[in-house]
């Protein structure tokens, strides 16, 4: 049995301005923004560990506010190395101290190409980096609540061939895959991860809007059932100055029988459930064998 956790929170930096027009004054303080979020999330890791978690997935772009609501090149300076940058370094130390497998979604700067990515780094419980997944689908659009301009800040993963677009990581707690936010809407993502051996798929997101809210209750359940995996979907919870866009939270774990798993956490910023990975090797109670009968 794997007890796994998701975080659902918002930007922890208290010095955010009240108006969008004042964001420029943060330019010299971006390090403080990141530092406040790292401290906040290390504390959430401690709380998850106290509650018995052995694997924790942090939120999409967790070291910062969700800056893609607008277009401001200032935020590009927050991109960092996915191995030695301050965010991954802090999470590696926390993982080793607490004995946790940590999935840490950051804003990545590739030192060789100079390109930026929305990237999840997978860290073993001894602090080793096992690898990373780069978000494959990047949204740019507007809904009734606001805009999301992610293509302004980073590109989509260009992996493929020998470097799997959807890698699966063999960890001490099981085989983990990652899909990030917009990826969840594309039908081949969960199936590609399941076919590659994933037992658990973590799907951190920053999402809002009426249609997104409705489908949030459906997509993970259907994908978990179709592919006989566990899926943990997390979203930010609350709003962030100065944009004041409301994020609905509602994180949960979906099981392979198409049901939400019981929520075990009493902490407002943690979602915690027990995942019976052993059931994945047993026959589907419906009598279906979708992997065998796939065409």
Residues that are catalytic? 60, 135, 181
Our measurement of the distance from residue 46's CA atom to the centroid of its chain's CA atoms, rounded to an integer in Å, reads 18
**CA count, 13 A, side-chain hemisphere, 271:** 27
Structure tokens at 147: 């805009």
Structure tokens at 150: 């992610």
Among 293, 267, 264, which Cα is nearest to 4's?
A: 264
Among 20, 109, 37, 114, which Cα is nearest to 72's?
A: 20
Please give the backbone phi and psi of residue 93, each rounded to the nearest 5 degrees, phi first.
-65, -45
**C-alpha gyration radius of the chain:** 18
Q: Is the peptide bond before 245 cis (omega within 30 degrees of 0)?
A: no
Query: How far are the Cα atoms of 44, 82, 83 from residue 86, in angstroms, in the given order?
Result: 18, 9, 9
* Residue 186 DSSP class: S
Among 76, 62, 175, which Cα is nearest to 120's?
A: 62
> How far is it, in rounded angstroms, from Cα 9 to Cα 32?
18
Are 107 and 80 a contacting pair, CB within 8 Å?
Answer: yes
Are 57 and 271 a contacting pair, CB within 8 Å?
Answer: no
Among 146, 130, 129, 148, which Cα is nearest to 138's?
A: 148
Beta bridge partners of 254: 231, 260
């Amino acid at each position: 049995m794997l007890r796994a956790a998701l975080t659902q929170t918002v930007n922890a930096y208290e010095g955010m301005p009240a108006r969008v027009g004042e964001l420029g004054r943060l330019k010299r303080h971006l390090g403080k923004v990141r530092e406040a979020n790292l401290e906040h999330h290390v504390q959430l890791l401690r709380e998850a560990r106290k509650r018995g978690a052995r694997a924790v997935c942090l939120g999409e772009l967790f070291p910062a506010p969700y800056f893609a609501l607008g277009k401001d090149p200032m935020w590009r300076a927050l991109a960092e190395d996915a191995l030695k940058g301050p965010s991954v370094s802090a999470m590696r130390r926390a993982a080793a101290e607490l004995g946790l497998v940590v999935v840490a979604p950051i804003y990545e700067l590739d030192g060789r190409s100079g390109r930026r990515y929305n990237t999840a780094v997978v860290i073993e419980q001894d602090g080793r980096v096992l690898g990373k997944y780069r978000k494959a689908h990047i949204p740019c659009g507007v809904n009734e609540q606001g805009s999301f301009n992610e293509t302004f800040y980073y590109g989509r993963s260009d992996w493929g061939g020998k470097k799997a677009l959807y890698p699966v990581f063999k960890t001490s707690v099981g085989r983990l895959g990652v899909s990030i936010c917009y990826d969840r809407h594309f039908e081949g993502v969960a199936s590609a991860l399941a076919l590659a051996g994933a037992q658990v798929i973590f799907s951190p997101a920053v999402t809002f809007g009426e249609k997104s809210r409705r489908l949030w209750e459906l997509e993970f359940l259907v994908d978990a059932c179709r592919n006989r995996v566990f899926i943990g979907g997390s979203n930010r919870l609350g709003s962030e100055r100065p944009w004041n866009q409301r994020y609905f939270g509602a994180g949960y774990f979906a099981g392979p029988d198409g049901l939400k798993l019981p929520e075990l956490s009493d902490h407002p910023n943690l979602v915690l459930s027990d995942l019976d990975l052993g059931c994945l090797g047993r026959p589907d109670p419906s009598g279906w064998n979708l992997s065998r009968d796939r065409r």
